[in-house]
């Protein structure tokens, strides 16, 4: 992830380390992780808050909620990325 200036965000590595799986992630677990996401209700709320933010009408509490949604979205992106990477790995052959 890069910030708006195009330079690497120093926090990204920390976020990625938070989601470290011990050992190989089984395909069934990876597929289950890919089903994680925001509910329809939460996506609608994010849309409402984004609209208010663009208009400059967010309260402090609403900004905090929008910030939390953004952080959770980043975490979901990382989890999904790691799950997709696990699914791309070739299974180890038994010897």
CA distance 9 to 93: 38
DSSP H stretches of helix in 1-95 = 12-18, 27-33, 40-55, 60-88
Q: What is the pTM of this model?
A: 0.75
Say if CB 67 and CB 4 are below 8 A apart. Answer: no
CA distance 27 to 12: 25
Q: Summarize pLDDT for 21-37 with one digit per residue, the tens.
A: 778 889 999 999 999 99
Q: Summarize pLDDT for 30-65 with one digit per residue, the tens.
A: 999 999 999 999 999 999 999 999 999 999 999 999
Say if CB 58 and CB 66 are below 8 A apart. Answer: yes
């Amino acid at each position: 992830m890069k910030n708006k200036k195009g330079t690497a965000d120093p926090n990204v590595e920390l976020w990625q380390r938070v989601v470290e799986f011990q050992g190989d992630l089984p395909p069934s677990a990876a597929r289950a992780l890919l089903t994680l996401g925001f509910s329809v209700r939460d996506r609608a709320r994010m849309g409402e808050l984004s609209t208010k933010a663009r208009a400059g009408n967010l309260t402090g509490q609403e900004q905090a909620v929008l910030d939390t949604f953004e952080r959770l979205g980043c975490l979901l992106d990382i989890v999904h990325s790691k799950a997709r990477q696990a699914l791309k790995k070739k299974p180890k052959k038994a010897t």
